[in-house]
Amino acid sequence: MLIRLPTDIAPSEITPPEIYRDRRRFMQGMGALAAGAAFGIGPDARAAGAKLAGVRDSAYRLTEASTPYKDVTTYNNFYEFGTGKSDPARQAGSLKTRPWTVAVEGEVRRPQAWDIDALLKLAPLEERVYRMRCVEGWSMVIPWVGYPLNELIRRAEPTGNAKYVEFVTLNDPRQMPGLRSRVLDWPYTEGLRLDEAMHPLTLLAVGLYGEVLPNQNGAPIRLVVPWKYGFKSAKSIVKIRFVEKQPVSSWTAAAPAEYGFYSNVNPQVDHPRWSQAKERRIGEFRKRDTLMFNGYGDQVASLYRGMDLKKLF
């Protein structure tokens, strides 16, 4: 098991809390300072020092070392702010995360427009250390802060017609200069089957490394689906729709031969332009083997029992 309960972890594997907290505060401070100096990031973009209160530890934690804060916040795919990996860190300061609402609509009994600050209080926040894998072949280990998406779904009360959940992100060229390009058909949309969305691993994230989510990482609220390629984890969400038919994801619409709806991490299914069998962890030189379902097979493989995962990629 890659995700273990506290009773499964040997005492020798547990970092003393005081050392962990001191190291995390040091890494946060150094990462934020370095990122600001290198990219001219304003305080709104990196949310420096904006700690999230009341964050509890979670059983969903990897024992692998987390990717440094600097790399997590300066090496990003977020095309709404540019196609270069450093573009989001440089340009995301234009994003205003207050006021912000997330509309929950479609096949639900309780549609509602949630204010972001109300969403922050919807369920207890917890820190989960997840492995994340990009379709381009690089990966990170990130300590996200949030709560399971199923907490929101249960309150929405989906009807019997709800089979899928569609996520729609902000579409405002004044705040997001990358929207002026035609690299994708905006707004960015993604989707999950309802059972995928209800899975306890699927996270609504509002922070990382104990801090408010930086703009370049999808502030103020984003999806995190750790067994799928990173583009499935929609950023800066403004609508969550419950629908009967499978939604068309932005990357699937742009290049259906390259980006399927499921987009589960599968080393046996190559991207048409590169292999998916290996990956490079940011900060490491050597490549490592890519794990099926990004290493979360014990938790999620049952969702796809009987499916041809090479055809339904």
Q: Give yes or no for a contact between 188 and 80, defined as CB atoms under 8 angstroms apart.
A: yes
Is 1 inside any structural domain? no
Is 308 inside any structural domain? no
**pLDDT tens-digit series, residues 208-266:** 999 999 999 999 999 999 999 999 999 999 999 999 999 999 999 999 999 999 999 99
Name which of 300, 279, 313 is nearest 140 in CA terms: 279
| Beta-strand pair 203-208/138-148 | antiparallel
Q: If you compute the radius of gyration of the chain from its CA atoms, what whole number of angstroms results?
A: 19
Is 189 inside any structural domain? yes
- The residue range of the domain holding 51 is 6-301
| pLDDT value for 31 | 42
**Cis peptide upstream of residue 158 (ω within 30 degrees of 0):** no
What letter represents residue 230's amino acid? Answer: G
More confident residue, 171 or 43: 171
Is 311 inside any structural domain? no
What's the mean pLDDT in 267-277?
A: 94
Say if residue 299's pLDDT is above 80: yes
Name which of 197, 188, 195 is nearest 237 in CA terms: 188
The residues with which 37 forms a beta bridge, in sequence order, are none
The pLDDT mean for the chain works out to 88
Write the CATH number for 118: 3.90.420.10
Q: Determine the distance from the C-alpha atom of residue 139 to the mean position of all C-alpha atoms in its chain, rounded to a whole number.
A: 12
| pLDDT value for 193 | 98
Say if residue 6's pLDDT is above 80: no
Q: Give yes or no for a contact between 187 and 103, defined as CB atoms under 8 angstroms apart.
A: no
Helix (H, G, I), strand (E, B) or coil at 133: strand
Count of structural domains within the chain? 1
C-alpha–C-alpha distance, residues 220 and 235, integer Å: 8
**pLDDT tens-digit series, residues 29-47:** 444 334 333 333 333 333 4
Say if residue 11's pLDDT is above 90: no
Is 12 inside any structural domain? yes
Beta strands in the chain (DSSP E): 56-61, 101-106, 112-115, 126-133, 138-148, 164-169, 189-193, 203-208, 211-212, 222-224, 237-243, 278-281, 288-289
Is 313 inside any structural domain? no
| pLDDT value for 41 | 35
Q: Token match 């089979």: residue? A: 163
What's the mean pLDDT in 265-293?
A: 96
Q: Give yes or no for a contact between 228 and 58, defined as CB atoms under 8 angstroms apart.
A: no
Which residues, other chains included, contact 194 with Cβ-Cβ below 8 Å and sequence gap of 6+? 153, 158, 162, 163, 164, 165, 242
CA dist 108 to 155, 157, 190, 215, Å?
A: 9, 5, 18, 30
The rounded percent of the chain whose pLDDT value lies above 90 is 83
**pLDDT tens-digit series, residues 126-164:** 999 999 999 999 999 999 999 999 999 999 999 999 999
More confident residue, 41 or 83: 83
| pLDDT value for 42 | 37
C-alpha–C-alpha distance, residues 145 and 104, integer Å: 21
H-assigned helices in 130-193: 149-156
Q: Could you give phi then psi for residue 286, rounded to 5 degrees?
A: -80, 145
C-alpha–C-alpha distance, residues 216 and 93, integer Å: 8
The sheet with strand 101-106 has its strands ordered as 112-115, 101-106, 237-243, 164-169, 189-193
C-alpha–C-alpha distance, residues 140 and 231, integer Å: 14
Q: Give yes or no for a contact between 263 and 231, defined as CB atoms under 8 angstroms apart.
A: yes
Confidence of residue 108 (pLDDT cuts 50, 70, 90): very high
Confidence of residue 25 (pLDDT cuts 50, 70, 90): very low
Say if residue 311's pLDDT is above 80: yes
**pLDDT tens-digit series, residues 97-106:** 999 999 999 9
